[in-house]
C-alpha cells in the first residue's frame, strides 16, 4: 500500500514539474553521419558546427528561458510564453522584457535556424545539376520564378552579395502567398517578422558554416550547397505548409 502511495505522489510531482516549467531545448542528432556530406562539408566542419555552435545556441537558450521563468518579476503571461515551443516563442519576442529579448532572439533564433538547416541537407550528388526539386514544390518554384535555374541563380546571387553573418531564405510569404527570397542578419529568421511565413529553404552564411573547408572561398560553398539540399524534405515542408494554411 505504501508503495502505491509513493508511486502516486511521485507521479503527481513529476506531472507538476512538467506542467510548471519552461520549455527546455535539446540538441537534435543529425539525421545522417557526420561525414555524410563530404566532400562538400567535412566531418570536422560538421562536428564543429553541430556539436559546438548548435550546442551553444541550445545551452544559452535554455539558460535564458529558465531565467525568464524563474524571474520573480516575470508575470503569468511571460511564464506562459516560455512554456511554448521555440518556434512560437520566436514569434512573440516583442512581449519579452528588454533584458531577455536580444539574447533569446540571437540564441533561440540560432537554435531554430540550425535545427531546420541541418534537417534539409543530405549526401551530395556528384554534380550540381543532378540535384533538383520535385513535386508541388518544383511547380511552385517554376510558377514564381519562371524556372528552377532562374530561382537557383537568384538564390545564389542573393547569397554571393550578402555581407556579414546571416541567412538567405526561401519562404511562402504570409501576405502575398508567393514564394519569396530574402535575407536576415545574425540569427534572425522570417517567422520573427510574420508568424505565418512558411519557411522552405535556407543557407547558413556564417563563417563557421564554411570556413574550415572553403576558407575565404565562400562562393564555392554556395555553389556546392546545391549538391546537398534534401529536396524531398523541402518539398514536404511545402506540402505541410499548404495543409497548415488553407488560404494558400
Name the residues that contact Fe ion, by CB under 5 A: 204, 206, 209
**Considering the complex, what minimum distance in angstroms separates the CB of residue 53 from Fe ion?**
5
At a CB cut-off of 8 Å and minimum separation 6, what does 244 contact?
A: 198
49 is in an annotated binding site: yes
Measured at the alpha carbon of residue 16, what is the angle toward residues 62 and 72, in degrees to the nearest 5? 55
Report how far residue 238's alpha carbon sits from residue 137's, in angstroms, rounded to the nearest whole number. Answer: 6
Q: By C-beta, is 22 or 49 nearer to Fe ion?
A: 49
Q: How far is the CB of 209 from Fe ion (least distance, A)?
A: 5
Strands (E) located in the chain: 166-172, 179-185, 198-204
Q: In angstroms, rounded to a whole number, what is the distance separating the alpha carbons of residues 207 and 211? A: 5
Q: Is 50 annotated as a binding residue?
A: no
Minimal distance in Å, beta carbon 58 to Fe ion? 12
What's the closest the beta carbon of residue 102 comes to Fe ion, in angstroms?
19
Taking the least distance from each CB to Fe ion, the nearer of 41 and 198 is 41
Distance of alpha carbon 201 from alpha carbon 75, whole angstroms: 36
**Partners of 181 in the beta sheet?**
170
Position of cell 529558465? 66
Residue nearest to Fe ion (CB): 204
Q: Is 180 helix (H, G, I), strand (E, B) or coil?
A: strand
Nearest-Å Rg of the Cα atoms of the chain is 20
CB of 192 to Fe ion, least distance (A): 17
Nearer to Fe ion, 100 or 111 (CB): 111
**Binding residue positions:** 49, 114, 204, 208
**Binding residue positions for Mn(2+):** 49, 114, 204, 208
Amino acid at each position: 500500500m505504501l508503495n502505491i502511495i509513493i508511486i502516486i505522489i511521485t507521479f503527481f510531482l513529476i506531472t507538476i514539474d512538467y506542467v510548471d516549467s519552461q520549455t527546455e531545448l535539446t540538441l537534435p542528432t543529425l539525421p545522417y553521419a557526420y561525414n555524410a556530406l563530404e566532400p562538400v562539408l567535412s566531418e570536422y566542419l560538421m562536428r564543429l558546427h553541430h556539436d559546438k555552435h548548435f550546442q551553444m545556441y541550445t545551452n544559452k537558450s535554455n539558460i535564458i528561458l529558465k531565467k525568464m521563468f524563474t524571474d520573480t518579476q516575470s508575470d503569468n503571461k511571460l511564464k506562459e510564453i516560455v512554456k511554448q515551443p521555440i518556434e512560437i516563442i520566436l514569434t512573440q519576442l516583442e512581449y519579452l522584457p528588454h533584458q531577455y529579448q536580444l539574447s533569446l532572439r540571437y540564441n533561440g533564433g540560432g537554435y531554430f535556424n540550425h535545427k531546420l538547416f541541418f534537417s534539409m541537407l543530405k549526401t551530395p550528388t556528384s554534380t550540381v545539376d543532378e540535384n533538383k526539386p520535385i513535386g508541388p514544390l518544383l511547380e511552385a518554384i517554376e510558377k514564381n520564378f519562371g524556372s528552377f535555374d532562374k530561382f537557383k541563380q537568384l538564390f545564389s546571387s542573393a547569397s554571393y552579395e550578402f555581407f556579414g553573418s546571416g541567412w538567405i531564405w526561401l519562404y511562402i510569404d504570409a501576405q502575398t502567398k508567393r514564394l519569396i527570397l530574402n535575407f536576415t542578419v545574425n540569427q534572425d529568421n522570417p517567422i520573427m517578422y510574420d508568424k505565418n511565413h512558411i519557411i522552405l529553404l535556407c543557407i547558413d552564411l556564417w563563417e563557421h558554416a564554411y570556413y574550415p573547408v572553403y576558407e575565404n572561398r565562400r562562393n564555392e560553398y554556395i555553389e556546392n550547397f546545391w549538391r546537398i539540399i534534401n529536396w524531398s524534405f523541402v518539398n514536404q515542408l511545402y506540402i505541410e505548409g499548404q495543409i497548415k494554411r488553407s488560404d494558400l
